Amino acid sequence: MADLQESIARLQAACRDPRAQMDRYLAQGKKVVGCFAPWAPEELVHASGMIPMGMWGGHTELKSAKSYLPAFACSIMQANMEFGLNGAYEGMSAVIIPAICDTLRCMTQNWRFGVKSIPAIAIVYPQNRRSPASTDYLISEYEGVLLQLAALTGCMMSETALCETIRIYNEHNRTMREFAAAAAEHLDVITPQVRHAVFKSAFFFEKSEHTAIVQDIIAGLKALPVCQWSGKKVVLTGIMCEPEQVLDILADNGIAVAADDLVQESQQFRADTPETGGGGLKRLALQWNERYGCSLIHELGKPRGGELAKLCAGAGADGVINCMVKFCDPEEYDQPWLEKDLRAAGIPCASIEIDQQNASFEQIRTRVQTFCELL
């Protein structure tokens, strides 16, 4: 079993330099397929014998991307486009783009026109998920993705391989949920920065490899005495909470992350793929129907605020920080609903603007300091 701090450092290194991770897999003779955030069907890539690699943008100077995307496109897609155009993703065999918001729909065409060296595979998820037809439709979308992946590998994915991948991913989901529970008891070790790295790094490792590292971390945490945290505790919600400077501000103000409702983090691991109910593709489609709490996934009644109130109660959190990705329309549509429900539940909530290309974080610092004083 690896040392606790060594395991954490390994995951942090992967977050700082995903390219090194990709080069490591390429050097092993493996093909890598980029997965645009969020909700790309990683399981299909994995079951096809390739490595799915998350594409969550990053800090960079936007130059070439401005010719393809409007200024009001979110910073994740701006950065992904910039990295694609400047060659940062060279070596990928393809990218999968889930057309799940207006910007991602544009990305499918922009990528094909601008980054001709890396083929784009588009997938459209059904939003009327209560309709029985949505399952059949999504299976047909998965089959289209598989045909394009087979063109890369030279053979079609097998049902046996998909079932094994589903097992691996479900085990990883359970491990990440176990980590979240262990992290809540060791907020002195699992700082906001460390917690973020453990979750985000899952996008840059083959899943069974990441599972083993996180299990070492969990074992290391369980060997330590439970921390009685004396500072404030919050729940984070939104698409993501980065760059790291934002997490540094939380730590500087004595704020711990007791739980999260971030698409980049815990939301990825909520819904396991059913073990029964049909073949692998059908079960993956059924998993999609069980996802909840994401502004990019349609739900009747806007239940996100109520779910956040339950999450706060279970985690003993003092309030919620809503991490609003700049120019993200679905997030902006959700904001008044979730804040209304949190106010009704008596739970304080503050919103901060997330922009990966931000050069100054003083407005966020002031807002967090003020919010901390009110808790």
Domain boundary among 136, 157, 178: 157
Determine, yes or no, domain membership for 243: yes
Residue 196 falls within a domain, yes or no?
yes
320 assigned to some structural domain = yes
Structural domain includes residue 330 = yes
Statement to judge: residues 11 and 39 lie in one domain: no
SS (H, E, C) 196-207: HHHHHHHHHCCH
Asked whether residue 89 falls in the same domain as residue 184, the answer is no
User: Does 242 lie in the same domain as 354?
Assistant: yes
What is the per-residue DSSP string for 70-137? -TTS-HHHHHHHHHHHTTTTBTBSEEEEE--SHHHHHHHHHHHHH-TTS-EEEE---S-TTSHHHHHH
CATH number where 255 lies:
3.40.50.11900
pTM, full prediction? 0.96
Mark 29-50 as b/e (b = at least 16 C-beta within 10 Å). Answer: eebbbbbbbbbbbbbbbbbbbb
> In CATH, what number is assigned to the domain containing residue 222?
1.20.1270.370
The answer to whether position 217 is within a domain reads yes
Q: Note the pLDDT tens digit of each residue in 335-346.
A: 999 999 999 999
Same domain, 291 and 351: yes
The Cα–Cα gap between 214 and 241 comes to 21
Entry field: residues in the chain: 375
User: Distance between CA atoms of 106 and 127, rounded to whole angstroms?
Assistant: 18
Q: Is the same domain home to 322 and 358?
A: yes
The answer to whether residue 25 sits within a structural domain is: no
223 and 93 share a domain? no
Task: Give me 188's structure tokens.
Answer: 């002195």
Same domain, 168 and 99: no
- Asked if the structure places residue 24 within a domain, the reply is no
Question: Is 131 found in the same domain as 89?
Answer: yes
| Cα three-residue angle 86-90-93, rounded to 5 degrees | 140
Kindly report the CATH number assigned to the domain that includes residue 135: 3.40.50.11890
Say if residue 187 is in the same domain as residue 55: no
Asked whether residue 273 falls in the same domain as residue 366, the answer is yes
324 part of a folded domain: yes
90: Cβ–Cβ under 8 A, 6 or more apart, which residues?
117, 118
Tens of each residue's pLDDT in the chain, 375 residues: 579 999 999 999 999 999 999 999 999 999 999 999 999 999 999 999 999 999 999 999 999 999 999 999 999 999 999 999 999 999 999 999 999 999 999 999 999 999 999 999 999 999 999 898 999 999 999 999 999 999 999 999 999 999 999 999 999 999 999 999 999 999 999 999 999 999 999 999 999 999 999 999 999 999 999 999 999 999 999 999 999 999 999 999 999 999 999 999 999 999 999 999 999 999 999 999 999 999 999 998 889 999 999 999 999 999 999 999 999 999 999 999 999 999 999 999 999 999 999 888 999 999 999 999 988
Please indicate, yes or no, whether residues 59 and 130 belong to a single structural domain of this protein: yes
- The DSSP line for 36-77 is ESS---HHHHHHTT-EEEEE---S---SGGGGTS-TTS-HHH
Candidates 115, 177, 132; CA nearest to 289 is 132
pLDDT in tens, 73-92: 999 999 999 999 999 999 99
Count of structural domains, the chain: 3
Find the domain containing 11 and state its range: 1-19+163-230
Query: Looking at 118, 139, 157, which one is the last position of a domain?
Result: 157
Q: What letter would DSSP give residue 226? A: P
Please identify, among 179, 210, 230, the residue that sits at the C-terminal boundary of a domain. Answer: 230
> Does one domain contain both 243 and 374?
yes
Task: Please count the other Cβ atoms lying within 10 Å of the Cβ belonging to residue 232.
Answer: 18
Start-to-end C-alpha separation, the chain: 40
Q: How far apart are CA 30 and CA 17, in angstroms?
A: 18
Burial class of residue 356 in the structure, from the number of CB atoms within 10 Å of its CB (0-12 exposed, 13-18 middle, 19+ buried): buried
